[in-house]
Structure 1
Amino acid sequence: MTQTRTETLLLTDGSELRCTVAEPDGVVRGGLVLLHEARGVTDAVRGLATSLAEEGWLTVAPHLYHRDGDDEQIDSDDDHRVADKVSRLSGDSVLADTDAAFAWLAQQGVAADRMGIVGFGLGGSVALVVAASRTLGAAVTISGGGIVAPLSEGLPSLVEVAGELTCPWLGIYSDAVKAIPAEDVAKLRDAAAGSGVATDVVRYPGPVEGEGEQDPAAVSDAWQRTLNWFDAHLR
């Protein structure tokens, strides 16, 4: 089974960015930047990194909370700390971190048109923001909130930037997530459609992400759609 490891990257501002990395055992098909949920780099994030690597994708997950000097996983019942961490994120900070992750992939020999980005929860939102600001091969958002009202003062709302997408983007959402209303997802779909690149939004009745109860059929279908999206666009 593929194992994850930690790499430390030096940023231009002098700070250090830790990244969780999973490397394929065989041929590398391309590289993916994986963005973590609001609680940080959880076991679910590491498991997803491993699964992507087993599909041939060199995967790097930047720890986005490093600027606070504390980027460890947040306890599941510490909602106040989660909210505080999210509120400190900005467009500049997440772009600096993802730029470093993409640069690391380039140093490993991955071509720019074979790089993609994927995230779930908070990471799904950030993935769209990055895909609207940088030239990538493809992007996938899984249950990303902040569609109409931004997740933090430093981040834009997703409908605000979806029309600026620079690469094919897939959005995966669940009607079971009450914090993300179906009408907001519809607004995001319409905004993304105006970007001029290939976009798709898929909604499931059951949960497809997180560590709680999930709909196995929806999870399986969402996973296959994610793989197919990268297979189709990272060539």
Structure 2
Amino acid sequence: MGETVRLQASDGHGFDAYVARPQGDPKTGLVVCQEVFGVNEHIREVADSFAEAGYLTIAPHLFDRIERGVSLGYGPDDLDYGRSLRARIDWDDAALDIEAAVKRLREELGQDARIGVVGYCWGGSLAWLAACRLPVQAAVGYYGGQIYELNDEDPRCPTMLHFGEEDPIIAFDQVEAIREAHPDVIDHVYRAGHGFNCDRREDYDEAAANLARSRTLAFLAQHLG
């Protein structure tokens, strides 16, 4: 279903992105932001699943500024390496790359197209970043461990967050702080751990993943069409 395309950010950085197309005319466009494991098989399958739901979907290779084509597994060494790459990407550069993905979608769908962003893990924090800084109309973040670092920034579009109450990475007082600072943001908490949406990870929870997906799709339909 998917193909690799080349994008260029406004600072001249060129990078790859995975694009998944629906079979018929797209409802509108969606950016999928990766975990720290790169645009791997799982993220490509996530993009494919949103295309099957009717969205023209693009997953930018956000590690390409450091190392091109990163696609990791889920072992401890992969996690350590992915975290080391994430630490070298600053928020401003990530925003430029997501902005380029949004621009590519609008080039195909029209400048008035309503665009959403969905992200997982590190990408969940990037979805929050996009909601705060970029011209998008909806954002959904799954277990974004750095959202708290950006808690002083306000989303400019409808935003939904998914967290796991058994997540060892995100302290629940951070979730409470996000709620207090942003009462208009919708959040859902599941009896699950970090990475509960990913069927490659030990913390995968099918019930939580299915419920979160149904809520995400309903939210996107409400705000994107």
TM-score (norm 1): 0.88
2:185 aligns with 199
Partner of 2:157: helix, strand, or coil? coil
1:144 aligns with 144
1-side partners of 2:111 and 2:186: how far apart? 25
2-side partners of 1:93 and 1:40: how far apart? 16
2-side partners of 1:36 and 1:25: how far apart? 23
Partner of 2:22: helix, strand, or coil? coil
Indicate conservation of the 8 Å contact 1:30/1:110, yes or no: no
2-side partners of 1:38 and 1:216: how far apart? 21
Query: Any idea what the Cα deviations from partners look like across 1:114-154, whole Å, max 9, x if unmatched?
Result: 10101000000011011101231100000100243xxxxxx
2-side partners of 1:85 and 1:112: how far apart? 34
1-side partners of 2:129 and 2:112: how far apart? 18
Question: Quick one: structure 1 residues 37 and 184, their matched pair in 2 at CA, closer, same or farther if it must change by over 3 Å?
Answer: same
Give, in angstroms, the shift of residue 14 of structure 1: 3.1
1:56 aligns with 54
1:107 aligns with 107
Indicate conservation of the 8 Å contact 1:131/1:139, yes or no: yes
Number of paired residues? 219
1-side partners of 2:159 and 2:84: how far apart? 29
Question: Quick one: structure 1 residues 111 and 57, their matched pair in 2 at CA, closer, same or farther if it must change by over 3 Å?
Answer: farther
1:233 aligns with 223
Give, in angstroms, the shift of residue 52 of structure 1: 0.2
Superposed counterparts of 1:104-183, under 5 Å: 104-112=104-112, 114-148=114-148, 157-161=149-153, 164-183=154-173
Larger mean Cα displacement after TM superposition, 181-190 or 123-132: 181-190
2-side partners of 1:72 and 1:147: how far apart? 23
Partner of 1:17: helix, strand, or coil? strand
Q: CA RMSD in A?
A: 1.6
Query: Any idea what the Cα deviations from partners look like across 1:46-82, whole Å, max 9, x if unmatched?
Result: 1110000001000001101111243311343324322
2:25 is the counterpart of 1:27:
yes
Amino acid at match of 1:88: R
The runs of 5 or more residues in structure 2 that have no matched partner are: none
Give, in angstroms, the shift of residue 15 of structure 1: 2.6
2:71 aligns with 73
1:154 aligns with none
1:152 aligns with none
2:98 is the counterpart of 1:98:
yes
1-side partners of 2:88 and 2:189: how far apart? 29
Question: Quick one: structure 1 residues 130 and 218, their matched pair in 2 at CA, closer, same or farther if it must change by over 3 Å?
Answer: same
Report the identity percentage. 31
Indicate conservation of the 8 Å contact 1:23/1:53, yes or no: yes
Larger mean Cα displacement after TM superposition, 66-75 or 176-185: 66-75
2:35 aligns with 37
Question: Quick one: structure 1 residues 189 and 113, their matched pair in 2 at CA, closer, same or farther if it must change by over 3 Å?
Answer: farther
Partner of 1:188: helix, strand, or coil? helix
1:151 aligns with none
Indicate conservation of the 8 Å contact 2:197/2:208, yes or no: no
2-side partners of 1:29 and 1:145: how far apart? 30
Indicate conservation of the 8 Å contact 2:114/2:224, yes or no: yes
1-side partners of 2:197 and 2:139: how far apart? 17
Indicate conservation of the 8 Å contact 1:158/1:188, yes or no: no
Query: Any idea what the Cα deviations from partners look like across 1:72-93, whole Å, max 9, x if unmatched?
Result: 1134332432222111111221
